[in-house]
Amino acid sequence: MPLTKRQARDVLSMKMGTVITRFATTAAGTSTTLISADVADYPPDMFEGTWPLVLTGGESVKWRLCTAYTASSGTFTIAPALAAAPGSAETVEIHAIRPDLYTLAINDAIKAT
């Protein structure tokens, strides 16, 4: 059975080791923040420069650059702003590379076959 692009991205990112962590938001954020107690107290510089990818909710499959991370509260500051503030219990993955690059690679592979 063929994979969907999302399934192919999941497989590719896991094989490459570029997904740093996956978590659920534990509080409603703003259009420029994601909040999760699940990642509170990670080292302060752990997530700056990474690419949070929102997988559920109204802003699903949207990725942004993490410009700052506050370890004490598990708050990610992201840019550019999302169209709407994420709620609690949204699933988020943190990627080491821009998530759209997986799609570009998958599309190139499909065209090459």
CA distance 34 to 25: 7
What does pTM read for this prediction? Answer: 0.85
With 0-12 / 13-18 / 19 or more C-beta atoms within 10 angstroms meaning exposed / middle / buried, residue 65 is middle
pLDDT at 1: 67
pLDDT at 60: 77
Tokens 């090459």 locate to 112
Strands (E), 13-64: 19-24, 33-35, 51-54, 62-63
pLDDT at 23: 94
pLDDT at 71: 92
> Which portions of the chain are predicted below pLDDT 50?
none
